[in-house]
Amino acid sequence: MGKFYYTYVLKSKQDGFLYIGWTDDLRRRLALHNTGKVESTRGRRPMYLVYYEACLSKEKAISREKTLKTGFGRKFINSRVQ
């Protein structure tokens, strides 16, 4: 079995902000967000995982992240997590 890469969506418990990213270690990345080591979410902690997709390649995960950050992608996410 090969390595997985993840496209993920976090939600701020503080203000409902949705953060979209990608990683090869979902648990570690969530911990980084919640310990303030990710600048873009530092002031919005705590964050919790509301959606993720597993991809077979880094390129696919990055591509999916970019898609989810578009208007269509945000609409897709909002329909699943709100």
Of the candidates 38, 33, 37, 72, the residue with the CA atom closest to the CA atom of residue 49: 33
Predicted confidence (pLDDT) at residue 79 exceeds the cutoff of 70: yes
**Cβ atoms 69, 20 nearer than 8 A:** yes
Question: How much is the pTM?
Answer: 0.94
Tens of pLDDT, residues 29-66? 999 999 999 999 999 999 999 999 999 999 999 999 99
Under the banding of pLDDT at 50, 70 and 90, the label for residue 26 is: very high
Predicted confidence (pLDDT) at residue 1 exceeds the cutoff of 70: no
Under the banding of pLDDT at 50, 70 and 90, the label for residue 2 is: confident
CA–CA distance, 26 with 3 (Å, rounded to integer):
12
CA–CA distance, 8 with 10 (Å, rounded to integer):
7
Structural domains of the chain, with CATH: 5-81 (3.40.1440.10)
